[in-house]
Amino acid sequence: DQQVKQNSPSLSVQEGRISILNCDYTNSMFDYFLWYKKYPAEGPTFLISISSIKDKNEDGRFTVFLNKSAKHLSLHIVPSQPGDSAVYFCAASARTSGSRLTFGEGTQLTVNP
């Protein structure tokens, strides 16, 4: 039962353009969402998070949008840079599960120069 889904295994964009990574979830108890970036043979690096009391959180080039009614969140990267090329995981947690994170399958982002 995949409670967090990233339906696009890969995404390719041109340098300078916007990258939009999507994530859907099914568990209505999730109230905290995070995006992580992962390079090969390294652990995930925290990028940005959002609480369910918000619908948008911005940090530099990264913005996360949350649509609770649709159980959907997205990560926008603008402008995209070649160094952004990595696998991006969304993750969610529920107050009832403490700090336990449930991860999506990841999306491989490639930013072409």
Partner 1 sequence: GAVVSQHPSWVICKSGTSVKIECRSLDFQATTMFWYRQFPKQSLMLMATSNEGSKATYEQGVEKDKFLINHASLTLSTLTVTSAHPEDSSFYICSARGLAGTRNQPQHFGDGTRLSIL
- Estimate the share of the chain in helix, then strand, then coil, as percent rounded to the nearest 5: 5, 55, 40
Taking the least distance from each CB to partner 1, the nearer of 79 and 110 is 110
The one among 8, 27, 49, 110 contacting partner 1 by CB under 8 A: 49
Q: Which residue in the block uniquely carries the two structure tokens 């159980």? A: 71
**Minimum Å distance from CB 97 to partner 1?**
9
> Considering only 17-25, 60-68, 69-77, 101-109, which stretch makes contact with partner 1 by CB under 8 A?
101-109
Tokens linked to 112 = 């072409």
The one among 44, 71, 77, 80 contacting partner 1 by CB under 8 A: 44
**Minimum Å distance from CB 108 to partner 1?**
9
- Give the end-to-end CA distance of the chain in Å, rounded to a whole number: 38
Backbone angles phi, psi at 112, to 5 degrees: -90, 135
